[in-house]
Every structure is written in C-alpha cells, then in structure tokens.
Structure 1
Amino acid sequence: MRKFAMYGKFKAHPGKGEALAEILLEAAEQCKSVEGCDLYIINVSEDDPDTIWVTELWNDLEAHDASLRNEDAIAMIQRAKPLIAGVEPIKLKPLGGKGF
C-alpha cells in the first residue's frame, strides 16, 4: 500500500481566515470517522492569520479522492469557497517518520 500525503495552503480573503479555519476544523472533526484518513491537521500561519495550512495523510490517493465525494464534504467545500482567495495543493509521497 502506498500512502498519500498532502499539504494544502489556503489563502483566505482578507479578514476571513478565522471563518475559513472554523470550516476546516469541522472537516478535521468529520475526518475522524473517514476510513483511510490517518491525519488531518489544521494550522494557521504565525505571520498571517488569513493563511491556513492543512496537513493530510491518507492510506492512499483513492481514499483521499473518495472523501471529496462525501455529501458532507461537498457541503463544507461549498461553504468555504466564498472565503477562499487561493489554494495551493502540494502532493507528497511519504517515506516514513514518527506518526507514519
């Protein structure tokens, strides 16, 4: 099995970082029951409260993709879209380490 990891950098519209982070924290809570999700952590930039990073680790790419087809996830994405100025996904191939 090949694990899949990703960092997602979300840039919120000015002043909307906190609202976006709240929605992403809801997504993180939902991920606790999503099969195939090993890690889903929400981080905010120390220097810019409108920049939120999501750290993800999945059993595989298919588990990640399946999570995006979930009705609750689709609804959260729709709520978050108006708050987002830009997204930079960074897809990774994890090799190992603590928590892996």
Structure 2
Amino acid sequence: MIVNRRIFVGSAAATLLFATKGNAMDEIDPEDVYAIIGQMLAAPGKRNELIGYLSEGSGNMPGNLSYEIWRDKGDENAIWITEVWKDEASHKASLGLPQVQDAIRKARPIIAGFGARAEVER
C-alpha cells in the first residue's frame, strides 16, 4: 500500500506528540517541541541489525520525549525513525553522546542511504 507522504507525516507527528516517555503534556511547551520523521535504508538483509544498533544508542538521551523505529511494510530494507525532543537544542546535543556516537559508528557501514525526512510541528 502506498501512503501519501503528507498523510503519513501528519499522522505520525500527531502520534508522536502524545507519546512522551512518561512526561505530562502540561510540562512540555508545544511551541518548543522538535520532531523529526525520517526514512533510513539498510544494506540488503541488514535491517534488523541496523535497528539493533539504533535501539542500543537511543536510551537515556536528555530531552528526548520519544524515539521510535518502525519497519517499512513495503520495503524490507527500510525503516522509519520518529523522534520527539523537548527542543531542537536537545536533539543537537544528543549527537555528541557517547552511546549515540557508538551507534553511529556501528551502523554507518550498513546504512545504504536515506529516504524522506521531515521536521514537523504541531
């Protein structure tokens, strides 16, 4: 099934903004929330390995409200990553965390490319 990108992005963004790792929505300023939806392509047969590396590296990231990895039903090598952050600065800071750097180092050789990417807002 082919999903219209605008419908997918809008639906995913709405879902993400309500999925907040135990934080009450009244503690989050929706004007500052930073959300990203992006597609990543694994080398053939390496999707589960890629998901494993990304999952390992995504725990305990300050300011992260939600980090979800989804298998694309129509492409056996593709995944979608949805992220919601307290603000854009938290996302940028996460890229320097040791576990994130380790995940990037492990995953890089099996990343075949990137698909659509959108920064979304409510």
Whether contact under 8 Å (2:56, 2:99) holds in the other structure is: no
State yes or no: 1:27 paired with 2:57.
Answer: yes
Aligned to 2:46: 16
Alpha-carbon distance between aligned partners in 2 of 1:50 and 1:13, rounded to the nearest angstrom: 7
2:88 to 37, 40, 61: 61
SS at match of 2:107: helix
The offset of 1:15, in angstroms, is 1.0
Match of 1:77 in 2: 104
The CA RMSD over aligned residues, in Å, is 1.5
The structure with more helix, counted as a fraction of residues: 2
Question: Unaligned regions of 5+ residues in structure 2, if any?
Answer: 1-28
Q: Tell me how far apart the structure 1 counterparts of residues 115 and 72 of structure 2 sit (CA, whole Å).
A: 14
More strand per residue? 1
1:98 match: none
Instruction: For residue 62 of structure 2, give the secondary structure of its aligned residue in structure 1.
Output: coil
Long gaps (5+) in structure 1: 96-100
The CA deviation at 1:52 is: 0.8
- Alignment TM-score, normalising by the size of structure 1: 0.83
CA displacement at 1:27 relative to structure 2: 2.6
How many Å separate the matches in 1 of 2:113 and 2:61? 26
- Partners of 2:78 and 2:97 in 1: how far apart? 25
The structure having more radius of gyration, on CA atoms, is 2
Identity of aligned residues (%): 32
Provide the rounded CA distance (Å) in 1 between the counterparts of 2:57 and 2:97.
Answer: 11
User: Equivalents in 2 of 1:92, 1:10: separation in Å?
Assistant: 15
Higher RCO (CA < 8 A, seq sep 6+): 1
Q: Give 1:7 shift.
A: 1.0
TM-superposed deviation, 1:92: 1.9
1:42 aligned to which of 58, 69, 75: 69
TM-score by length of 2: 0.69
